[in-house]
Amino acid sequence: MCGISGAVLETGDVGPILYDSLKRLEYRGYDSVGEAAVVNGRIVVKKDVGKIDQVERQLRISDLPGNIGIGHTRWATHGAPSQENAHPHTDCKGTVAVVHNGIIENYMELKQELESKGHVLKSRTDTEIVAHLVEENLKRQFGFVDAVRQAAKRLTGAYALALICANEPDKIVCVRKESPLVIGVGISANYLASDISAFLPRTKNAMLLEDDEMAVLTCDRIRVMKVETGEEVTRKPFGVEWSVETATKGGFPHFMLKEINEQPLTVRNALRTQPIYLELMASAMNRAKRIFLLACGTSYHACLAASYAFANLAKVGVTPVIASEFIDAYGALIDSDTVVLTVSQSGETADTLTAVRGAKDRGATILGLTNVMGSTLTRLSDVYIGQNSGPEMGVAATKTFTAQYAVLIKIVVALARKRNTANPKDLQRLEDGFNHLPEWISTTLSTQDDNVRRIVQKNSDKGSFCFLGRGVSVATALEGRLKLLELSYLPAIAYPAGESKHGFISVVEEGYPVLFVAPKDEAYPKIIGNVMEMKARRAQVLSLVEGDDSQVASLSDETIQMPNGIPPPLTPIVFIVPLQLFAYRMAVTKGYDPDFPRNLAKSVTVH
């Protein structure tokens, strides 16, 4: 998730306008920044690695002259943060410049095609291929607008693109597919950006682009057309009521609620991980004699959940380990036949990095899964994958949990295929399930948030809660508990449901709230007994059940309805959503700040 912006003015320089808009988009990505403009018939680019203020001090990007330009603030997905990988990117001759937010899935094959035609690509990004594709079309005598349209028709994935061309210095062309892109309608000026907050100080009139549409902006006109056919589309601008702060939060009151609602897109982005990296990870794991999944906090819960699928589908025993205990517990077993798959959204958690260094010293192979390209974990890893969730502003991890777990399951599928250990039907059901995940999450968000809010209202006076699950839902229960604990400061408990009768049950008294995570998977028949045990002690049973559930639902005081038929290994990705909402609503109900809970930091860089 990056931030893109653009401006075309009748008079004046775009430098300060682009700089200001990028400052407002900085929450979308802040590892590198750049601007490009057409100046005296030539494309001028200013870009570098680092936060906006830092790059401004070095390059004075706000001084960029010219009345037409594009800008970008980056959250690396392909290619670590560097000056070469910073946007804007240009073609071989520097005639075209492009900025991009999203993921171009088929960039590898397009890159090979362009290199076979003699193009030289300067960066490791997916984005740069767009500039060269447009260059190819300009060579074929297409005008700039059609050259971009023809190039866009060849791309797959998610993208918001903005381009300028030295040959036609009066227009910006932008294209949208899935990634957000909005146009600002000005007077003798027009703007574009990843979100409205970027140009709100200049105009409160906006225009949305739909998927597979493109727009041509000049200083006094905006043309919208369909990418596929080039057919013009009439689009009416609308007035924006939001403040800049609200716009930055996408209209949500807190970053956490915005990030919970981003999950349909961020899970889809995570599932777009390039097969080559999944293959590299699966090969390393297939060669290993011992495999550990290493992490802290929420990332550890993603590892714990994935350990079930590694065993059941890939028939590989992996040991999920809390990083601060790793070397003490397993140091003696680690050697060159050991693989350590390390998961950390920040890539900077001290406990995790220390454990990784300890394992490296003992000869282990390090695989990394992180949300921050260029983080220390990526530098310590032999192979790493970026999970493409974009910056997570809320301290409580939400969208990064579901994205991490989605990538881990993709690795399981790659390993199971390599080892030929899974029933093809199960793998196919899982692949089909991947495609349904965004819709299952959206359905849960739209149908259950009010229900969760009502249950929270009813229980906001409770002093403690317990979360129970069986099988992979043990991890979902633990993660739900962590969210409530870190945001509402309530001493919440979580247990494997089967284990609850070996101790926890002594705590249960009339009305004590017990949340059951109860998808209809292999563990379902057994969890019914656990629900009855709690009911027998007059607990208040709150259950997450599939829509057509009758047994657990009939035993429960409250139910949260989940979509039917989610393949069991994928249930943590959907069933965690109402538990994230539960914690968020409880924090807000208690008057706590859900974005910045006390005593916690987004990245724990101390031991």
Stretch that binds ligand AGP, among 135-143, 342-350, 438-446, 556-564 (CB under 6 A): 342-350
Q: Which residue is nearest to ligand AGP (CB)?
A: 297
How far is C-alpha 21 from the chain's CA centre? 22
Q: Which amino acid is at 524?
A: Y
Q: With beta carbons less than 8 A apart as the criterion, state whether 368 and 342 touch.
A: yes
Query: For ligand AGP, which stretch binds (CB under 6 A), given 14-22, 233-241, 389-397, 560-568?
Result: 389-397
Distances (CA, A) of 185 to 12, 70, 494: 17, 16, 52
Q: Does 542 bind ligand AGP (CB under 6 A)?
A: no
The reply on whether position 260 binds ligand AGP by CB under 6 A is no
According to the binding rule CB under 6 A, does residue 322 interact with ligand AGP? no
- In sequence order, the 6+-apart residues with CB closer than 8 A to the CB of 420 are none
Q: How many CA atoms does the CB half-sphere of 389 hold within 13 Å?
A: 31
Residue 298 near ligand AGP by CB under 6 A:
yes
CA 16 to CA 7: how far, in whole Å? 11
The answer for 239, left when phi > 0, alpha when psi is -120 to 50, beta otherwise, is beta
Instruction: Please state, in angstroms and rounded to a whole number, the distance separating the CA atoms of residues 363 and 350.
Output: 20
- Provide the minimum distance between the beta carbon of 580 and ligand AGP in the complex, in angstroms, as a whole number: 10
Candidate list 349, 381, 448, 540; residue touching ligand AGP; CB under 6 A:
349
Scanning 36-44, 138-146, 285-293, 394-402 for contacts with ligand AGP by CB under 6 A, the matching segment is 394-402
Of 340-348, 546-554, 569-577, 579-587, which segment contacts ligand AGP by CB under 6 A? 340-348
- Closest by CA to 314, choosing from 400, 402, 430, 404, is 430
Name the one range near ligand AGP by CB under 6 A: 105-113, 345-353, 500-508, 515-523: 345-353
**CB of 190 or CB of 580, closer to ligand AGP:** 580
Verify binding: residue 354, ligand AGP, rule CB under 6 A.
no
Q: Does 576 bind ligand AGP (CB under 6 A)?
A: no
- Catalytic site residue 602? yes
Please state whether the peptide bond connecting residue 88 to the residue before it is cis, i.e. omega within 30 degrees of 0: yes
End-to-end CA, the chain: 30
- Using the rule CB under 6 A, is 553 a contact of ligand AGP? no
| SS3 state of residue 233 | strand
Nearest-approach distance from CB 396 to ligand AGP, in angstroms: 4
Give min distance, CB of 408 to ligand AGP, in A: 13
Minimum distance of ligand AGP from residue 579's CB (angstroms): 12
Tell me if residue 139 is catalytic.
Answer: no
Tokens in use for 34? 């750049």
Of 177 and 301, nearer to ligand AGP (C-beta) is 301
345 interacts with ligand AGP by CB under 6 A: yes
What is the Cα Rg of the chain in Å? 25
The stretch among 31-39, 225-233, 237-245, 293-301 that binds ligand AGP (CB under 6 A) is 293-301
Maximum C-alpha span of the chain: 81
Nearer to ligand AGP, 127 or 352 (CB): 352
Show contacts with ligand AGP in window 143-202 (CB under 6 A).
none
**For ligand AGP, which is the closer residue by CB, 165 or 515?**
515
In the complex, the smallest distance separating the C-beta of residue 594 from ligand AGP, rounded to whole angstroms, is: 11
Member of 66, 71, 169, 297 binding ligand AGP (CB under 6 A): 297
**Residue owning tokens 């407002």:** 24
Nearest distance from residue 347's CB to ligand AGP, in Å? 7
Q: Considering beta carbons, is residue 352 or 488 the nearer one to ligand AGP? A: 352
Residue closer to ligand AGP, measured from CB, 464 or 605: 605
- Under rule CB under 6 A, residue 603 binds ligand AGP: yes
Instruction: Output 194 or 345, the one with its CB closest to ligand AGP.
Output: 345
Residue 475 CA neighbour count, 13 Å, CB half = 26
Of 201-209, 313-321, 343-351, 548-556, the segment contacting ligand AGP by CB under 6 A is 343-351
In terms of CB distance, is 6 or 297 closer to ligand AGP?
A: 297
Residues in region 472-501 near ligand AGP by CB under 6 A:
486
Residue 451 in the binding site for ligand AGP (CB under 6 A): no
Q: Specify the 3-state DSSP secondary structure of 368.
A: strand
Contact 540, 463 (CB under 8 A): no
Is 604 among the residues that bind ligand AGP (CB under 6 A)?
Answer: yes
Choose, from 2, 174, 296, 303, the residue flagged as catalytic: 2
Question: From the candidates 51, 226, 360, 602, which is the catalytic residue?
Answer: 602
Q: How far is the CB of 303 from ligand AGP (least distance, A)?
A: 10
* Surface-to-core class of residue 607, CB atoms within 10 Å of its CB (0-12 exposed, 13-18 middle, 19+ buried): exposed
Kindly state the smallest distance separating residue 338's Cβ from ligand AGP, in Å: 20
User: Which one, of 139, 131, 215, 193, lies nearest residue 165 by Cα?
Assistant: 131
- How is residue 119 written in tokens? 């193009």
Q: Which of these segments, 231-239, 292-300, 355-363, 457-465, binds ligand AGP (CB under 6 A)?
A: 292-300
Distance CA 78, CA 70 (A): 20
3 state SS of 99: strand
Taken in order 69, 74, 79, 82, the sign of the CA dihedral is positive
Total residues in contact with ligand AGP, by rule CB under 6 A: 15
The Cα–Cα gap between 245 and 1 comes to: 19
Which of 73, 299, 476, 488 binds ligand AGP (CB under 6 A)? It is: 299
Q: How far is the CB of 391 from ligand AGP (least distance, A)?
A: 12
Cα distances (angstroms) measured from residue 490 to each of 475, 496, 543:
19, 20, 19
Strand partners, 224: 215, 233
Does residue 517 bind ligand AGP (CB under 6 A)?
no
Structure tokens at 522: 């292999």
Helices (H), 190-248: 244-248
Phi-psi region of 374 (alpha: psi -120 to 50; beta: other; left: phi over 0): left
How many whole angstroms separate alpha carbon 131 and alpha carbon 94? Answer: 9
Among 86, 130, 397, 579, binds ligand AGP (CB under 6 A): 397
List interacting residues with ligand AGP (CB under 6 A).
296-299, 344-346, 349, 352, 395-397, 486, 603-604
Annotated catalytic sites, by residue?
A: 2, 602
